Structure 1
Amino acid sequence: MPVTVVRFNLVAPDATPAELGARYRAALEMAGYADEHGITTVQTEEHHGAENNWLPSPFVFAGAVLGATRRLAVTVSAVIGPLHDPLRLAEDIAVLDLLSGGRLLTVAGIGYRPEEYARAGVDWTKRGRLQDELLETVLKAWTGEEFEYRGRTVRVTPRPASDPHPLLLVGGSSKAAARRAARLGLPFFPSAHMPELESYYKERLVEYGTEGWTMMPGAETPLLHIAEDPDRTWSEYGRHFLHEARTYASWQSGGGVHSAVRSAATTVEDLRTEGVYRILTPEECTAQDLDNLVLHPLAGGMPVEEGWRSLRLFAEEVLPRLAS
């Protein structure tokens, strides 16, 4: 049976605070419903200063989801490592690990938007060095022992519950990211289907004498929406998928950026043909033969009621077919 994921980034262009609040609460209710129906993962992410209200605080949201559920995992994919204080990040993840019994998975990347670094007052040119420091620091912090950090002796408490530490993956699409993961003996999460980078990571594991594994998106990892009438749904709601696709495209215009969510579409019709976003009937979804089924019920400001329709069809009509 494939891994089943419900993705939330809480995008809502032009939403009022009251509308955003209702949207956040709906996402928590959806997470609880997903947990009750055997969906395996909720995935969220981090971006800052976006005009469309993209979620900037993934661990706050992850904590709320973990508190509203009992079984499913929550993946933060990805946290922009150099924008965080390493000691505080270690504390936050440790507390969530204790609260959830180890259900939090964190992917640490370096991001691809220089404007987010400028907003935070962090030097974009030092992002690799800062990522090294962050990863090395949180691993030391989770031991509960004293260690040297920026010229002073520090200790982080409490220790997390997971042994040897909470699940932490290094994300990225570069050889530098793969080397960083291998050197630290951490799992590697390529940001797109890149078998050659996975091979490079495995070679570096041998070089460094460390152990690790890869969690890589499949050759196809579409974002899904379930509907009884896809034609009508594309016509009525396709603009929400296009908004998100165009937002990603504007952020990923520079060279060297690889992403499983990468679209060149400029119209809803182009987007539908492209296949990065797919609106499917329950029968069509069951026949996709994908390793990961990623449902995106609130994509691009999708109305909450339409998101619920998609989630219920997925849980009540797709999952039973997959289990049979």
Structure 2
Amino acid sequence: MAFTVVRFNLVEPDATPVSLSARYRAALEMAAYADEHGVDTVQTEEHHGVANSWLPSPFTFAGAVFGATRRIAVTVSAIIGPLHDPLRLAEDIAVLDLLSAGRLVTVAGIGYRPEEYERAGVEWGRRGRLQDELLETLLAAWTGEPFPYRGRTVRVTPRPYTRPHPMLLVGGSSRAAARRAARLGLPLFPSAHLPELEAFYREQCAEHGTEGFCMMPAERTPLLHVSENPERTWALYGEHLLHEARTYASWQSKDIRSAVRSAATTVAELREEGVYRIVTPDELAGLGAESLVLHPLCGGMPVEEGWRSLRLFCEALTRERPAAPAQG
């Protein structure tokens, strides 16, 4: 069975407070529906000061999802590590880990938008050192014991639910990210299909005497929307997918490698490219992918269309799952 993901970033161009509130509440209802229908994880992310209202507070959203669900995980992929206060982040993740009984997965990257650093008053050139400090502080804080921090001794409580600590991965596409993960004995979460980076990470783990694993996207992991009539859905809603693709593209330099990077400038080009795909339920079942990532509210997609996509996605998954064995 494929690993299943429902992704939310709550983008809505030209949103009003009323429309955005409705979108947030719909996302929580969708998360609960996904939970009831066996989806593995809700995925969310962090960006700041974006005109289309991109979600800036993924842990607040994660807490709301945990309150509405019972078993589904929430993967925050990714936070912009250097923008966070390390002690406060350690506390927030510990509380969410306790609330969810270990269902939170955090991917810590360093971001790629200098304007987000400028907005936060954080020096772009220090991002590597700040990321090192953040990760080291989280690991020390979650022991529950006193530890040295910026010239003083501090202690963070409560201890998290998960042992030895909540799931924490290092995100990125650079050798620096791989070295950082290996040195600290943390898993690596490449932002694209980068076998050479995984090989370097494993070399670094051996050099540092640490153990870890790599959660790398497949060579092609499209963002999906499910429809009984893809032709009609592309015609009606393709501009929403293009809006997100163009937003991402405007942020990424030539050195950034991402699984969802698109060069499309029109809906037709986006459809041909395959980074975003609209598929029928039967096509979904035939993809044979290791992971299936549904993006039901992509680019400000109307909520009712997002619901249609999610229901079709979950119905297709239900048909694919083997029946439970009879109880004797």
TM-score by length of 2: 0.98
The runs of 4+ residues in structure 1 deviating greater than 6 Å are: none
Aligned-partner Cα distance in 1 for 2:297–2:219: 24
Q: Which amino acid aligns with 2:313?
A: F
2:223–2:276 CA contact under 8 A, matched in 1: yes
Identity of aligned residues (%): 76
The Cα of 1:320 is off from its aligned counterpart by 2.3
Equivalent residue for 1:176? 176
- What residue ranges of structure 2 are gaps of 5+ in the alignment? 323-328
The Cα of 1:236 is off from its aligned counterpart by 0.2
Q: Which amino acid aligns with 1:206?
A: A
Equivalent residue runs for 1:53-202 within 5 Å: 53-202=53-202
Equivalent residue for 1:45? 45
Matched, 1:7 2:7: yes
Matched, 1:283 2:282: yes
- What residue ranges of structure 1 are gaps of 5+ in the alignment? none
Aligned-partner Cα distance in 1 for 2:127–2:320: 42
Q: Which amino acid aligns with 1:282?
A: P
Aligned-partner Cα distance in 2 for 1:56–1:35: 23
2:239–2:267 CA contact under 8 A, matched in 1: yes
Q: Which amino acid aligns with 2:112?
A: Y
Aligned-partner Cα distance in 2 for 1:216–1:15: 34
The Cα of 1:196 is off from its aligned counterpart by 0.3
The Cα of 1:255 is off from its aligned counterpart by 2.9
Q: Which amino acid aligns with 2:321?
A: A
The Cα of 1:67 is off from its aligned counterpart by 1.0
Equivalent residue for 1:255? 254
RMSD of the alignment, in Å?
Answer: 0.5
Q: Deviations over 1:255-274 (max 9, x none)?
A: 32010110000000000000
Q: Which amino acid aligns with 1:211?
A: E
Equivalent residue for 2:244? 244
Aligned-partner Cα distance in 1 for 2:22–2:44: 18
Aligned-partner Cα distance in 2 for 1:233–1:155: 53
Aligned length: 322
Equivalent residue for 2:306? 307
Aligned-partner Cα distance in 1 for 2:210–2:40: 29
Equivalent residue for 1:227? 227
Equivalent residue for 2:326? none
Equivalent residue for 1:273? 272
Equivalent position SS for 1:279: strand
Aligned-partner Cα distance in 1 for 2:283–2:155: 53
Aligned-partner Cα distance in 1 for 2:210–2:34: 37
2:6–2:42 CA contact under 8 A, matched in 1: yes
Q: Which amino acid aligns with 2:19?
A: E
Equivalent residue for 1:319? 317
Q: Deviations over 1:215-267 (max 9, x none)?
A: 00000110000000000000000000000000000001x13201011000000
The Cα of 1:164 is off from its aligned counterpart by 0.1
Aligned-partner Cα distance in 2 for 1:72–1:290: 20
TM-score by length of 1: 0.99
Aligned-partner Cα distance in 1 for 2:198–2:40: 25
Q: Deviations over 1:77-101 (max 9, x none)?
A: 0000000000000000000000000
Q: Deviations over 1:7-66 (max 9, x none)?
A: 000000010001000000000000000000111110000000000000000000001001
Equivalent position SS for 2:271: helix
Equivalent residue for 1:209? 209
Aligned-partner Cα distance in 2 for 1:90–1:277: 35
Aligned-partner Cα distance in 2 for 1:250–1:73: 30
Aligned-partner Cα distance in 2 for 1:209–1:285: 42
Equivalent position SS for 1:74: strand
The Cα of 1:143 is off from its aligned counterpart by 0.4
Equivalent position SS for 2:221: coil
2:78–2:106 CA contact under 8 A, matched in 1: yes
2:37–2:318 CA contact under 8 A, matched in 1: no
Q: Deviations over 1:139-179 (max 9, x none)?
A: 00000010111111100000001000000000000000000
